[in-house]
Amino acid sequence: ALVSSTQMLGEARAEGYCVGAFNVHTLEMLQAVVEAAEEANAPLILQTTVGTVRHLGPEYVAAMARVAAERARVPIALHLDHCQEEELIARCIKAGYTSVMIDASMHLFAENVERTQRVVTLARAFGVNVEAELGKVGGVEDDLVVDDADASLADPLECERFMELTKVDTLAPAIGTAHGIYKGEPRIDFVRLEEIARRVLAPLVLHGGSGIPEAQVKRAVALGMAKMNVATELRIAFSNAIKATFEEHPAENDPRTYMKRAKQAVKEVALAKMEMCGCTGKA
């Protein structure tokens, strides 16, 4: 069965490694990261954005993830990424999601606290993990667009206060990473992260995992990041493999052929990220 992400992330933070959380949009993408986790013997978080939940329906996503969890030897959680709507969160929990993110980071602190508290209350009854965000992660993720000028870093004191007030399970503090591929390297504020990690003992979540150089990922993990979200690099690998197939074989019309190659490409990216996160062999 699907497990809550609370336990796997608690262990990751305690032992100083990070669990890969991968955004999937199709059955083959889901299978690809599950195969990667099995091969790496790593715990796994499957996640879908709000856009993907709308595209496929939460019940279909949960059904696919449940089958994967029944068959896999590694623990698998299903997480709803960056959701602003409480109604959709409730629907996903009802469908079988074992972890949810309430992203009220665009609101003032008090409002963020209030919205997060309501979701924590709802989720507790189902044993579902809750993630919240402080500061604003920049870049583009689905319908969520945050310009560089609007992106802001999390304040360590606010993080501590936020945890006391909301009792949320996991916290995503913005520390300079962004959604999508970076122009150049991300400028991660490691001093800030260290200060946040000193004040917040809960597992921390690193957003914007695509394009972060390995050394920076490892440094962030050593400082307390226990979950890393990866979306864009998987989409690019998947789409590029399909494009390459059609370039070589314009008449190709069998989805099984081009999906097979796309699946393999996604699996390779996922394996590389698991290695970077240090969760290989931790299942």
Residues that constitute the known binding site for Zn(2+)? 82, 103, 133, 179, 207
Q: How far is the CB of 49 from ligand 13P (least distance, A)?
A: 7
Q: Does 82 bind ligand 13P (CB under 6 A)?
A: yes
Residue 138: beta bridge partners? 178
Q: How far is the CB of 149 from Na ion (least distance, A)?
A: 18
Q: How far is the CB of 105 from ligand 13P (least distance, A)?
A: 12
| Residues acting as catalytic residues | 81
Residues at the binding site are: 82, 103, 133, 179-180, 207-210, 229-232
Nearest residue (CB) to ligand 13P, 51 versus 180: 180
Residues at the binding site for dihydroxyacetone phosphate are: 180, 208-210, 229-232
Question: If you ran DSSP here, which 8-state letter would residue 45 be given?
Answer: E
Determine the interface stretch with Zn ion among 150-158, 226-234, 244-252, 255-263 (rule: CB under 5 A).
226-234
Q: Which of 28, 131, 133, 141 binds ligand 13P (CB under 6 A)?
A: 141
Residue 166 binds: one of ligand 13P, Na ion, Zn ion, none (C-beta under 5 to 8 A by kind): none
Q: How far is the CB of 203 from Zn ion (least distance, A)?
A: 15
The alpha helices in the chain, defined as continuous H runs, are: 5-15, 27-40, 50-56, 58-71, 86-95, 109-124, 156-166, 190-199, 214-222, 232-248, 255-277
Nearest residue (CB) to ligand 13P, 35 versus 233: 233
Q: Does 103 bind ligand 13P (CB under 6 A)?
A: no
Q: Does 79 bind Zn ion (CB under 5 A)?
A: no
Neighbours of 275 (CB within 10 A): 14
Q: Does 25 bind ligand 13P (CB under 6 A)?
A: no
Nearest residue (CB) to ligand 13P, 123 versus 206: 206
Q: Does 263 bind Zn ion (CB under 5 A)?
A: no
241, HSE (Cβ side, Cα atoms, 13 Å): 22
Query: What are φ and ψ of residue 138, in 5° steps?
Result: -80, 175
User: What's the rounded Cα separation, in Å, for the pair 216 and 48?
Assistant: 25
Query: What are φ and ψ of residue 163, in 5° steps?
Result: -65, -40
User: What's the rounded Cα separation, in Å, for the pair 127 and 124?
Assistant: 5
Closest among 74, 42, 68, 98 to 275, alpha carbons compared: 42
Q: Which of 25, 207, 267, 282 binds Zn ion (CB under 5 A)?
A: 207
How far are the Cα atoms of 40, 55, 125, 277 from residue 18, in angstroms, in the given order? 14, 29, 27, 5
Q: Which of 211, 265, 273, 283 binds Na ion (CB under 5 A)?
A: 211
Residue 47: beta bridge partners? 23, 79
Q: Which of 13, 179, 273, 282 binds ligand 13P (CB under 6 A)?
A: 179
Burial class (CB in 10 A: 0-12, 13-18, 19+), 169: buried
Residue 231 binds: one of Na ion, ligand 13P, Zn ion, none (C-beta under 5 to 8 A by kind): ligand 13P
Neighbours of 187 (CB within 10 A): 12
The residues of the shown chain that bind Zn ion, judged by CB under 5 A, are 207, 229
The residues of the shown chain that bind ligand 13P, judged by CB under 6 A, are 23, 81-82, 141, 179-180, 207-210, 229-233
